[in-house]
Amino acid sequence: MPKTFNFEEEWSKSPGEAIEVLDIGGDIQVGILTMPPRSRLPEEGFSIHDEYHEFAYVVDGDVILVTNGDRFPASTGEFVYNEPGTPHYTLNNTNRPARILWMLIRK
């Protein structure tokens, strides 16, 4: 059965934290994230998804994915892929919020 979501309502729930909006048996997870201006997620350290491929679509704004010291800028309309087990964090170094639609797919 199809399931619909009103992302405008969901965005308001996610300032500074990733909100999961769909989990299909633990194999696929879909969520959203609103990154406030001048923010980092996680605030310290790294995020690691050992068992998942991670995809992020920048709906609005500019972010930087940092992995192993490398920086990968992404802007509105761009799509980022991160391999399983790669330590990473995301930066919003701008003066406006950024919105990201993310997906984790079990390997």
Q: pLDDT at position 9, please? A: 72
CA distance 21 to 4: 10
Q: pLDDT at position 11, please? A: 67
Helices (H) and strands (E) in the chain, counts: 1, 9
Q: pLDDT at position 3, please? A: 74
* pLDDT tens, residue by residue, 67-103: 988 999 999 999 999 999 999 999 999 999 999 999 9
CATH class of the domain at 7-106: mainly beta
Of 55 and 18, more confident: 55
